[in-house]
Structure 1
Amino acid sequence: MLPTLRQALLALLLLTLAAPARADEGMWLPLLLKQLNEADMQKKGLKLTADQIYSINQGSLKDAVVQFGGGCTGEIISNEGLLLTNHHCGYGQIQQHSSVENDYLTKGYWAMDRSQELTNPGLTATFIIRMEDVTGQVLAGVPTRNIAEADREKLVQTNIQRISQAAVQGTHYQAFIRPFYNGNEYYMFVTEVFQDIRLVGAPPSSIGKFGGDTDNWAWPRHTGDFSIFRIYAGPDNKPAPYSAQNVPFKPRHHLPISLAGVQPGDFTLVFGFPGRTNEYLTSWGVDEVYSVSNPAKIKVRDARLRVLDADMKASDKVRIQYAAKYAGIANYWKKWIGENRGLKKLDAVRVKQEQEAQFQQWASAGDEARRAAYAPLLPALQQQYATVRDYTLARDYVTEAAMGVELLAYANSLLPLAEMVDKKAPAAELAAAVDKARGGTTNFFKNSTMATDQKVAAALLPLYANGTPPALLPAYVKTLQQQYATKGGWNAYVTQLYGKSRLTSEAGAQAVLDEVVKGNARALLDDPAAQLAAAIIGNYRTAILPTYTAATDQIALLQRTYVAGLRQQQTTRKFYPDANSTLRVAYGQVQPYAPADGTKYDFYTTLDGIMEKADPTNPDFEVPARLVELYKNKDFGPYAYKGTVPVAFIATNHTTGGNSGSPVINGRGELIGTNFDRNWEGTMSDIMFDPDRVRNITLDVRYMLFVVDKFAGAGHLVKEMTLVGSTSDGAAPTEGKKMKKVKAKKKEKADA
């Protein structure tokens, strides 16, 4: 009997999963490139050695890459600490500097000299100094069996703390250790963290967010998604808190910028800090994501976004307050929708089941030790996922729906103060905690509007009450449902909640804090917002979290053994560890793709496409008049390609959240773009990678330079950079200071 097309496709995908990881799949540790990837990378077009990418003895590409804040990547593009990242990565800082009077979100911002560069308290840039395999030290004294996962983790964390402290003792460096391969290995990262990071430039949102939510996670893309900052250091070039005496940081390496552009087949390297992937998830884990977690979170965020969108369009004040929050909510809402579509397209659950059948056969056919270690694994995992399913759903509704109401999240943040009063904490300690809460309160009301939040509450609380499995819903919420069933339902309750709570205004909240610092916890605990928050979070801690934690601990233990087994089963496969916000290299090639029958996408987009999409009636597709003028006059400077300006391109690199802002580097170690997204068809790559469909989307560095130079008139920044090569239109690049010095040295040698 001939196999069906479906069976043939499944067999092909299984072969792909069992085979060595392809060049375009994987997020590789820089420390291991020489032994695992160097030959393959050079075969694909890399002209460098692994040591030129990662070295602890000399300047290398890693020294030009930073973790920007807590969740993005940035790259150093000048010898004076100039830092390039995405517009959406710097969006929060741009928002904090914006007001209705000085709306930098809408108009953009450019510092025309160093004195105009804006400080950003709390923002950091973190360099990796070195990496080290510390598996043996971390697992020293940790039993391999007959130990609870929580107890094992305590021993591991004790070792981690000791090793980390010893590694940086007597230095200004910091260190952290992360698990890899689900805790089968551990690596230490020694870091240098800079604290004085200043905003230098950002395009208007009509460039930096062009396409908005309409184009998010989509290709073709025309977004100028970049912003520019500068790292400042003390006089000794070491990290220092903000000071007017600080000076621009001198990096160990900065990336030269290529104007030569890209063509299909060109080598691309993405260097950054990918956040989280789950490539070795079992079929039950994939099904939980696909059938339980993603649908619930999509539904809740969809309701929240509709409310925020309407109010932001009606008020500039609300628009500025919620701009960064809206972008964050919408980003993963759309990602989860695409992820589910991709998992369905790949029949991911079925593919995982087939892989597990092969693993089970391997485990059962082995010797006694193999059978004992691995044969019971998959049935045990299935049982734990069945146990945790409802608890995962309940947890998602607490985090997404209940705590998606800002009033409840704020009230919950104050509840520890009442606990301090109840436990009779020292007066000075309580006063310090209340003072901190006062600052948080001011910031909360600066960035929130209670009229908008009330609408959010009216939309989200019914979803929370109806979506949570009944057995896991707080009794307090059940009582509210019954009490208001004949009194107008949740809308009536929400109206009363916001009408009676003192926590809906800054003055009222500060008055409550005045009482708490005197020892009157009832002023907080009797507030209806605090009562609802306490009921929901209290129930979460007692009825949901214990079972959820116990089951997920067991899943973690079993998953660690499963991954170890997979690595024994598939001895010819190069396994890469899941992303965990540590420095990684992904490499691939510039390639177009065909997402569906009859549809094929080119590998790049241009300024022509921006003008084609332009729509003054749609905020997502507004085009600045200055950009239109430059386009009409063909005033493209040295950044032209085929009579226009390239905007973005796609390649096969394996990326995820956290790779936003990552440098995209050619085979010669030159910057060709800044990573900012994935394509809609490839969003399932956090769980299952499909080389034919997954593409990372990159801002072409020539569009960034064009906007900085020609649009913003900030050519002084371009002069600070090192530009190399020439455009495909034959124009020579503007020479930066560094480039001129290099040429001068070459001339001196030639003359000698």
Structure 2
Amino acid sequence: MNKKTLLFTSLLAIGIVQSGYTPPDEGMFPLSEIHKLDLKKAGLKIDQKEIYNPNGTSLVDALVNVGGCTGSFISNEGLIITNHHCAFSAVQLASTPEHDYLNNGFVARSHEQEIEAKGLTCRITDSYEDVSDRILGAVAQITDPASRLQLINNTMKNIVAEAEQKDPSVKAEVSEMFIGKTYVLFRYKTIQDVRLVYVPNRQIGEFGGETDNWVWPRHTGDFSFMRAYVSKDGKPAKYSKDNVPYSPKKFLKVNASGTKEEDFVFILGYPGRTFRHRPSEFIEYQQKFVLPYVSELYDFQNKTMEEAGKKDKATEIKLATRIKRNANVLKNYRGKLQGLREIDLIGQKKQEDAAMAQFINGNVELKTKYGSLMGDIDNLYKLINGDAQRDLWLQQIYTSTSLLSVSRTINSFKEALEAQPVAQKQSFFDLNIEQVKKSLAGTYEAYDLYVDKQILNRMFNDAAKFSPNQKVEAVNKFTGKGSNDETTINKYLKDTFELSKLKDQDYVLNTLLKSPKALSAYNDGLLLLEKDLGKQIAELKPEKDRREGLLNKLMGDYVNVKEKFLKKDFIPDANSTLRLTYGYVRGYTPADATYMKPYTSIKGILEKGASGNPDFGYPAAIKTLWTNKDFGPFEKKDLKDVPVSFLYNMDTTGGNSGSPIMNANGELIGVNFDRAYGATINDYAWNESYSRSIGVDIRYVLWVATKIDHADFLVKEIGIKL
């Protein structure tokens, strides 16, 4: 055991002595698994059924999925607390150069002043039901991989349709808990009218910017408040001034006293996707292809968009959400790459897989059933790796370039229209045109011609270098003819963009889409390019479906064998369904001779601000208040300051953003928003020694709300007495 490992172990041992409980190896526990836990022994002070009670109201009823993040109700008038970055896109859409809420923040001092959070809805988990037997029973006799996967998907759709027909008030969804093995039907209530209530100044909500993203120590006030609205009869309804605040079955009590080191804490939330029960070949595919390609592409895209944003304020605002999302992903992916290499996860997985293969071969029954399993997995990934560059390129092309996305929408509508009988073309057009226009308008919101040209140029040059078996046919049409590909690509793009009228949103929405005749008559180089791309994607689909079907079956078998090999059940990988994780407020040692304390304070904001880095700019009022020691009731006595952020050893991932952090009494004491850099690898592996998540302390939230933005009315609504 080296010194670093010894230090980790010693610190962990201290934590266990203090808490009197040894936490599990990892844990994003589905609702169905919560009853198996002994949370009382871990430190919970309330009845465990108060967290989740399938026969009554409990804390899970206060949870919402909002815009891919988690949020929680904190008042009986539908008030929701979540992260600043979860509201970011809605704030961007509400902002103009004259009303720059994105940078200046926003406070609605009455319900009437609250602004529609465009693009956001709230999804509340209503109930769940295991449907594994029905789905797997439907494919028990099917051996063809593609047919098997198609039947699984069709059965899932049928179950969803039945659930929604039985109760039209729910939105149903079947989630694959273990790939190819277990399936659960979730029923959700969806609130369509969500409004912005309070979003702090960007220098608070995004303090530290990309410099501090995925980094500890952290001083970001990553919080925002929204409100859910319904029609007067209490039913979900689209945005209307006549709607009224939603009254939730349950809302969380906010505890302004916060936490102290080693306190028991837990989170309920909707974590995105993890991949911890996959073989070494999957990890190798991620490390060799996915992570480096996407991070490098997003880095180029962001530099291009940042350059375009220098033109004017409107362009800067328009591209802000895309830049932020890209930056978050690329830094996360680079952290994953670093983590994978540091712990040599591929090597660890290969050892585990080799031991499993030996285990299979040592058991006659297992060998008969699974003898070829490990070899089949390896052979499948050889095929996947052989097409990786082209497949990743095709996955990214439409999200990377707005006008190709516009072209795909127009081509799809055009093809569907042309497939209609002559007598029905006009009615089909009239029935679908508004939805098509709405989709296109959403794409144009983040469109910039310079950005599209530069990114398409980069991606075409990438494609021109692919090996012959991975060629992108649409690009190959005008490259690889012996001339200089870069020059050829430049000329092709110059000519194509100059001639295309898709650059003009007004022309597209009001002239091209004026009538079926106008749509059918129009064509240009971008539409032809997209048609070629779509054609190749369609040609590749049967083989892709075959591989996905085979992978589905192999991964189900892989988990079955792994359970027998390790002689235990697993917690299924995260899949955006409601989960619980728990642990303790705790620092950690990311490197030799260092220890990261679990709390930061306002003092750290001032220290970072003195560096001159523009990411560390902050409102002047913060320094004035801190200098005067005007902390109100939100001071942490041992810090002699207001705590800003804190660390805990809970198991989180993307989608947990905005999750309420609760104390032993089930009271909200913070909002989860990030992980330390070493924990970016959580999607593939979790370990107490390096996995730390980061939350904004409720005391800082309340301090900013009262002292900086004077939103005392909001603090009063959530029951805090000043």
Matched, 1:589 2:584: yes
Equivalent in 542, 553, 561 of residue 557 of structure 2: 561
Give, in whole Å, the separation in 1 of the partners of 2:185 and 2:513. 45
Equivalent residue number for residue 190 of structure 1: 187
Alpha-carbon distance in 2 for matches of 1:173, 1:435: 25
Partners of 1:379 and 1:570 lie apart in 2 by 20
TM-score computed with the length of structure 2 as normaliser: 0.92
User: Partner of 1:730 in structure 2?
Assistant: none
Task: Report if aligned partners of 2:295, 2:334 keep a CA contact under 8 Å in 1.
Answer: yes
Deviations 1:579-602 (A, max 9, x none): 111000111111111111222211
| 1:149-228 to 2 correspondences below 5 Å | 149-167=145-163, 169-170=166-167, 172-228=169-225
- Post-superposition CA distance 1:20-70 (Å, at most 9, x none): 9953611101232112x1x1x22221113331111133221101111113x
Pick from 466, 469, 472: which aligns with 2:470?
472
| Structure 2 residue runs without a partner (length 5+) | 10-20
Distance 1:85 1:700 in 2: 13
Structure 1 32/439 Cα, relative in aligned 2: closer, same or farther at 3 Å?
closer
Match of 1:52 in 2: 50
Q: How far apart, in 2, do the equivalents of 1:231 and 1:99 lie?
A: 24
The question of 1:630 aligning with 2:636 is answered no
Find the aligned partners of 2:679 and 2:64 in 1 and give their Cα distance.
26
**2-structure distance, mates of 1:243, 1:500:** 42
Taking structure 1 as reference, are residues 148 and 519 closer, same or farther at Cα in structure 2, changes over 3 Å only? farther
Q: CA deviation at 1:403?
A: 4.3
Q: Mark the CA change 1:695 to 1:170 in structure 2 (over 3 Å): closer, same or farther.
A: closer
> Could you tell me how far apart the structure 1 residues matched to 2:74 and 2:417 are?
51
**1:602 maps to 2:597:** yes
What residue identity is the alignment partner of 1:79?
N
* Rounded Cα–Cα distance in structure 1 between residues aligned with 2:457 and 2:445: 22
2:457 maps to 1:458 = yes
1:675 positional shift: 0.7
Is structure 2 residue 380 aligned with structure 1 residue 384?
Answer: yes
Q: In the alignment, what sits opposite 2:522? A: 523
Distance 1:279 1:650 in 2: 23
Q: How many residues align?
A: 701
Match of residue 340, structure 1, among 337, 342, 356:
337
2:680 partner letter: T
Q: Measure the CA separation in 2 of the matches of 1:72 and 1:305.
A: 23
CA deviation string 1:405-430 (max 9, x = no partner): 22222212211123134424522213
Q: Say whether 1:719 aligns with 2:716.
A: yes
Give 1:326's aligned residue.
323
Unpaired runs of at least 5, structure 1: 13-19, 724-732, 735-752
Check 1:669–1:330 CA distance in 2 against 1; reply closer, same or farther (3 A cut): same
Correspondence 1:292 to 2:293: no
Q: Residues of 1 paired with 2:304 and 2:244: CA distance? A: 45
Distance 1:365 1:616, change over 3 A: closer
- Aligned-pair CA distance for 1:142: 3.3
User: Is the Cα–Cα contact under 8 Å of residues 679 and 696 in structure 1 kept in the other structure?
Assistant: yes
1:574: how far off?
4.3
- Give the match for residue 746 of structure 1: none
Match of residue 406 from structure 1: 402
Which of 113, 118, 133 is the equivalent residue of 2:115?
118
Between the aligned partners of 1:485 and 1:343, the Cα distance in structure 2 is 38
Contact 2:234 2:246 in 1 (8 A): yes
**Residues 616 and 622 of structure 1 are in contact (CA less than 8 Å); yes or no, is this contact kept in structure 2?**
no
Are 1:28 and 2:29 matched, yes or no? yes
Shift of 1:72: 0.8
Matches of 1:429 and 1:618, distance apart in 2: 56
Distance in 2 separating the partners of 1:558 and 1:714: 55
- Equivalent position to 2:298, from 297, 301, 313: 301
Cα deviations by residue, 1:308-350 (Å, 9 ceiling, x for unpaired): 1222244211110011111111111111100011111111011
User: Which whole-Å deviations, capped at 9, do the CAs of 1:443-483 have from their partners, x for residues lacking one?
Assistant: 433432213322333333322333x4432223341232246
> How many angstroms apart in 2 are the aligned matches of 1:221 and 1:458?
37
Q: Which residue of 1 aligns with 2:240?
A: 243
Work out the percentage of aligned pairs sharing the same amino acid: 31
- Name the residue aligned to 1:365: 362
Q: Is the 8 A contact 2:463 2:475 kept in 1?
A: no
Helix, strand or coil for the counterpart of 1:518? helix
TM-score, length-scaled by structure 1: 0.88
| C-alpha distance in structure 2 between counterparts of 1:454 and 1:139, whole Å | 47
Q: What is the match of residue 574 of structure 2?
A: 579
Task: Tell me which residue corresponds to 2:664.
Answer: 667
Distance (Å, rounded) in 1 between the aligned partners of 2:495 and 2:127: 56
1:485 alignment partner in structure 2: 484
RMSD: 2.5
Cα distance, 1:111 vs structure 2: 0.2
Letter in 2 for 1:60: S
Residue number in structure 2 paired with 1:728? none
Instruction: Note if 1:417 corresponds to 2:416.
Output: no
Query: Could you tell me how far 1:249 is from its partner in structure 2?
Result: 1.6
CA separation of 1:344/1:558 partners in 2, compared to 1, >3 Å: closer, same or farther?
A: same
Letter of the aligned partner of 1:315 in structure 2? D
Instruction: Name the CA distance, whole Å, in 2 between partners of 1:511 and 1:720.
Output: 46
Contact residue 434 and residue 517 of structure 1 kept, 8 A: no
1:385·1:551 contact (CA, 8 Å) conserved in 2? no
